[in-house]
């Protein structure tokens, strides 16, 4: 098979981003031993602004736009991201052109004093997370909790959790696994209530849609199951216009020819949490995502979205 002699690979410089990038390069290198891969580290707006909640910055391409500009200019051939950080609509000419096999998509609880479950946290316990989804899910189960902002890369958040006033913190299990920090995990949050972020646990490659040789190379490492699940989850997100301002989550799974999708939409104060599930065909993943979103909007979902837009 023909292959590029050299690929420039763009990534953010956090340890998680670098781990993910090396993981993609390793997979490609196995198929294309002659190709040279050069890692190009870049900082994004999301890495530069550390003093504001992500939802307050209100910029959907926060962690991706700088890398996308480098792809358009030809400075890099592709970029590696956490799918979770990708906006629901990509810039023209770029696509999500390969996904790696999904890791554990669950959120993880870090807790002091041997606490294992959210139910067992003391009254008014302080829990760190800057995700509106995690906040909504926590407060809908435990309205007494004091949820406080906790930002930074994985290592920073774990350090702030340990040194700060926090009784607990929520992070993605996948990020902790990749950073070899699973020992910090008290337990995983159950998927019946704590529906993960769209795309959580999936590493994705973004590249130019007109770079056919790159597309052929990337097709070699693409995991169909991750791609199908993400198509359903992202269609759900697109229909609900959920960037980081809207507390939503979704997780798809495949059983034979069937695709199952569970979605969450809630209010940040925890006063409402809608969880719905729907089944469809693997070949119609996007239709399933849209249909689940429609079900939510037909219930109390529309009112929740309207209130978020007003506020
Ligand atoms: N928003 C940051 C981010 N993006 C992807 C992951 C974890 C890895 C993944 O979900 O693939 C994390 C860390 C976290 O949420 O704790």
- The fold adopted by the segment(s) 236-310 is Double Stranded RNA Binding Domain (3.30.160)
Cβ–ligand 1 distance for 80 under 6 Å, the answer: no
What's the ipTM? 0.94
Q: Is residue 85 annotated as a catalytic residue, yes or no?
A: yes
Strands (E), 2-101: 6-12, 36-42, 78-82, 94-99
Q: CA-CA distance, 287 to 113, in Å (whole number)?
A: 45
CATH homologous superfamily of 107-188: Periplasmic binding protein-like II (3.40.190.10)
pTM, full prediction: 0.95
- Annotated active-site residue in 51, 66, 77, 85: 85
**Minimum-distance ligand 1 atom for the alpha carbon of 196:** 10
* Structure tokens, 249: 């989550």
Parts of the chain belonging to CATH 3.30.160.40: 236-310
Confidence band of 308 (pLDDT split at 50, 70, 90): confident
- Span 223-259, pLDDT tens digits: 999 999 999 999 999 999 866 688 999 999 999 889 9
- The fold adopted by the segment(s) 6-100+202-222 is D-Maltodextrin-Binding Protein; domain 2 (3.40.190)
Parts of the chain belonging to CATH 3.40.190.10: 6-100+202-222, 107-188
- Span 63-84, pLDDT tens digits: 788 899 999 999 999 999 999 9
Q: CA-CA distance, 82 to 85, in Å (whole number)?
A: 6
% pLDDT > 70, the chain: 95
Q: CA-CA distance, 201 to 12, in Å (whole number)?
A: 17
Ligand 1 centre to CA of 175 (Å) is: 5
């Amino acid at each position: 098979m023909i292959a590029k002699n050299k690929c420039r690979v763009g990534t953010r410089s956090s340890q998680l981003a670098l781990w993910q990038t090396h993981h993609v390069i390793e997979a490609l290198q196995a198929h294309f031993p002659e190709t040279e891969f050069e890692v190009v580290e870049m900082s994004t707006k999301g890495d530069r602004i550390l003093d504001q909640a992500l939802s307050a910055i209100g910029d959907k391409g926060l962690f991706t736009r700088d890398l996308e500009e480098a792809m358009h200019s030809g400075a890099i051939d592709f970029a590696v991201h956490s799918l979770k950080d990708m906006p629901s609509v990509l810039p023209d000419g770029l696509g999500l052109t390969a996904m790696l096999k999904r890791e554990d998509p669950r959120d993880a609880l870090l807790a002091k004093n041997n606490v294992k479950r959210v139910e067992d946290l003391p009254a008014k316990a302080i829990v760190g997370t800057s995700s509106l989804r995690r906040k909504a899910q926590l407060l809908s189960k435990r309205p007494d909790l004091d949820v406080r902002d906790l930002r930074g890369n994985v290592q920073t958040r774990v350090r702030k959790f340990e040194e700060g006033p926090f009784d607990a913190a929520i992070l993605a299990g996948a990020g902790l696994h990749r950073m070899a920090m699973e020992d910090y995990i008290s337990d995983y949050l159950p998927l019946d209530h704590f529906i993960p972020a769209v795309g959580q646990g999936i590493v994705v490659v973004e590249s130019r849609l007109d770079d056919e040789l790159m597309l052929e190379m990337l097709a070699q490492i693409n995991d169909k199951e991750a791609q199908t699940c993400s198509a359903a989850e992202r269609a759900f997100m697109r229909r609900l216009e959920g960037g980081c301002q809207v507390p939503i989550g979704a997780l798809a799974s495949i059983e034979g020819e069937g695709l199952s999708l569970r979605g969450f939409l809630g209010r940040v104060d925890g006063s409402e949490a809608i969880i719905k599930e729907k089944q469809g065909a693997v070949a119609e993943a996007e239709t399933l995502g849209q249909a689940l979103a429609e079900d939510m909007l037909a219930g109390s979902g529309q009112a929740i979205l309207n209130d978020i837009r007003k506020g």
